[in-house]
Structure 1
Amino acid sequence: MTFNSIPTIDVTALVAEDPVGRRDVIDELGRAAREVGFVQIVGHGIDPESFAALEDAAKRFFAQPDDAKMKVYIGNSTNHRGYVPAGEEVFAGATPDHKEAYDLSIDLPADDPDYLGGNPLLGPNQWPDLDGFAEPVSKYYDEVFSLGRVLLRAFAESLGEPSDLFDRHVTTPPAQLRLIHYPHDPSAADRPGIGAHTDYEVFTLLRPTAPGLEVVNAEGTWIDVPYTEDAFVLNIGDLLEIWTNGEFTATSHRVRKVSHERYSFPLFFNVDYNTWVEPLTQFVGAGGPRYDGVRAGDHLFAQTAQSFTYLQRRLASGEITLPDNARPLYSLGREAQRSAPAV
């Protein structure tokens, strides 16, 4: 199916656990996941003051001199946390852009067994020495992650399964929050900045501060995601596409080059690192599954390692290796489905 616009869904009944309107919201989310892969949600219940505090913290962090930000350079970490300078991350087909970012995830203690055992995505965050930063960022992370749990249950029900189908897989997942800054660029041409890609996790909850995001439909036409204040952009990720054998689509998206300053705050909701993800039985027809199974954390690490230059250097030196079943970049999603069958 094709689409020419992004639907908006009010999830108030879902968040409030309203038994009257909840089923309608679940059906709407399921339909959007099948037909578009993207939706804007309002009525999500996230406190506007939490987002304002997050945005203020991000602005103060990115306003620092480069040497201050580089003290928490992501390449200093062993679990992919910290500052991402411009040019560090390269998506398939990307054109150069001036984006910078700060990446964090569930903040585990330094003596966490997985971290000590060398897990490439779990462990403590690399917090900057900046007053009033960690607290609002952590608060926002916790609030949006809780919203993600509610939405994950809704997606389970939209698939005809019990609401707790995925709950056991969400204990300490590598669910990343990114603080992204696109500086003012008066010379920017209206062309792709971040190249077309899908997200590697279960789904994404994004709060931008300005327009610029585009998604591709089944005909290959790029559709603007309109900026709506106080709305989250929700999009399906690779793992839900695999779990549903392609019934839910990880729609490819990109960010246009825009001249105005822009901030973007995606939380990539994920399941636990060792969760085995393969097509659910009810979606596998006579032809068998369209996707091989993947370990959730291995898939995320493999895609990340192929798109960050500091990890590419570690791969080249033999310091790290890709998982045995690593998929190439950009092998899932609507664009990939248009060009070749999934494997």
Structure 2
Amino acid sequence: MTEETFTSIPVIDIAGLYSTEKADRQKVADTLHHAASKIGFFYIAGHRVTEDLIADVRSAARDFFSQPFEKKMEHYIGASASHKGFVPEGEEIYNKARPDHKEAFDIGYEVPADHPLVTAGTPLLGPNDWPALPGFRERATAYYNAVFDLGRVLFRGFALALGLDEHAFDDVAQFPPSKLRMIHYPFDGEARDAPGIGAHTDYECFTILLADQPGLEVLNGNGEWIDAPPIPGSFVVNIGDMLEMMTAGAFVATAHRVRSVKEERYSFPLFYACDYHHEIRPLPAFDKGDTEYAAVRIGDHMWAQAMQTYAYLIARRERGEIALPEGTRRTNSFGHFTRTGVTP
């Protein structure tokens, strides 16, 4: 059960996860367990992602978003074969009454075009559509790889936290649909009444977020929005739908949003997922024998949520070109949305 009245987000030093001593790793894992089960959000310090890599990804994002709109639309996500590329303002629909006030560039795990998963037509997988900006691909790829490696370390910590062998999840993310998003919130001098990103949970196992300005808010169990401002030298980590499913709700996929702010803002979430065809179900220690958390392939869940969120995919569904996978859950059916009755 969550601590319904949390009013701040804890900071966890994960340096012990890199220790050769099992006791050090277990100590961090116990702290992760508490934060994941009681809040669903926490900061991590003591990681090994360098400041140079962080500075480089920020500069790469500025280079891309400073281009004219027409140039960015050359990489429109709706023209992509694998759901990657530029996401213009209003493309994502979390709240039908108010479009999100942001733009994004989505980068996926690089899977070659001739890989069997790609030639089989697996959604979300394939090569990235890289813009021809000097050094963009190199800077973005270096950051992606470093944070994805951090995700592998964290997943070992979560495995220990769940009473599993710490390498239990090592082989479940070989070619995953894990996305890095470069998100740009333009300067808004009027700070109009529109969300940066509407309230939602993340579809994957967990998210590792870098942001440079306040704006992120986290929903507690009382239906109150709690600030999660950036802390220098740390990332924000939040539990996603699939870890909630693995633990049958013991870990909570806490809902969050980005409120409207005047300042220009950049953020870089990496969504750590398992391989598309990996089936997620409650682990034996958490299985209650009911149907609240029915087993699902993680890729089907991610693809279904995207089809209910992105305007171009919604249009394709309406034309009958694609259909939701069997057993699709509606958006915002995890986390505190189900526990508080708060409307996104």
For structure 2, which runs of at least 5 residues remain unmatched after alignment?
Answer: none
* SS of structure 2 residue aligned to 1:312: helix
Indicate whether 1:83 and 2:104 are aligned: no
For structure 1, which runs of at least 5 residues remain unmatched after alignment?
Answer: none
Which of 311, 314, 324 is residue 313 of structure 2 equivalent to? 311
* SS of structure 2 residue aligned to 1:292: coil
Q: Which amino acid aligns with 1:52?
A: A
- Residue pairs, 1:1-343, within 5 angstroms: 1-2=3-4, 3-92=6-95, 95-189=98-192, 192-285=195-288, 288=290, 290-339=292-341
8 Å CA contact retained: 1:92, 1:329: no
* SS of structure 1 residue aligned to 2:321: coil
How far, CA to CA, are the matches of 1:176 and 1:157 in structure 2? 25
8 Å CA contact retained: 2:109, 2:176: yes
How far, CA to CA, are the matches of 1:70 and 1:147 in structure 2? 31
How far, CA to CA, are the matches of 1:17 and 1:147 in structure 2? 16
8 Å CA contact retained: 1:15, 1:45: no
How far, CA to CA, are the matches of 2:321 and 2:154 in structure 1? 38
* SS of structure 1 residue aligned to 2:149: helix
8 Å CA contact retained: 1:245, 1:289: no
Query: Residue 211 of structure 1: CA displacement?
Result: 0.7
Query: Residue 112 of structure 1: CA displacement?
Result: 1.8
* SS of structure 2 residue aligned to 1:54: helix
1:304-327 CA distances to partner (integer Å, 9 max, x unpaired)?
Answer: 111000111111111111101111
Change (3 A) 1:182 1:198: same
How far, CA to CA, are the matches of 1:88 and 1:250 in structure 2? 24
How far, CA to CA, are the matches of 1:94 and 1:120 in structure 2? 29
Query: Residue 169 of structure 1: CA displacement?
Result: 1.0
8 Å CA contact retained: 2:100, 2:198: no
How far, CA to CA, are the matches of 1:284 and 1:19 in structure 2? 27
* SS of structure 2 residue aligned to 1:167: coil
Query: Residue 289 of structure 1: CA displacement?
Result: 5.0
8 Å CA contact retained: 2:41, 2:236: yes
* SS of structure 1 residue aligned to 2:223: coil
TM-score, L = length of structure 2: 0.95
8 Å CA contact retained: 2:185, 2:196: no
1:211-233 CA distances to partner (integer Å, 9 max, x unpaired)?
Answer: 10000111111110022112100
How far, CA to CA, are the matches of 2:234 and 2:115 in structure 1? 35
Change (3 A) 1:197 1:267: same
Change (3 A) 1:328 1:97: closer
How far, CA to CA, are the matches of 1:17 and 1:304 in structure 2? 40
How far, CA to CA, are the matches of 1:279 and 1:259 in structure 2? 42
What root-mean-square deviation, in Å, do the aligned CA atoms of Structure 1 and Structure 2 show? 1.5
Identity of aligned residues (%): 49
Moved more, 77-86 or 276-285: 276-285
1:246-296 CA distances to partner (integer Å, 9 max, x unpaired)?
Answer: 0000000000000000000000000000011111111124x6353111110
Q: Which amino acid aligns with 2:300?
A: D
Q: Which amino acid aligns with 1:86?
A: E
* SS of structure 2 residue aligned to 1:169: coil
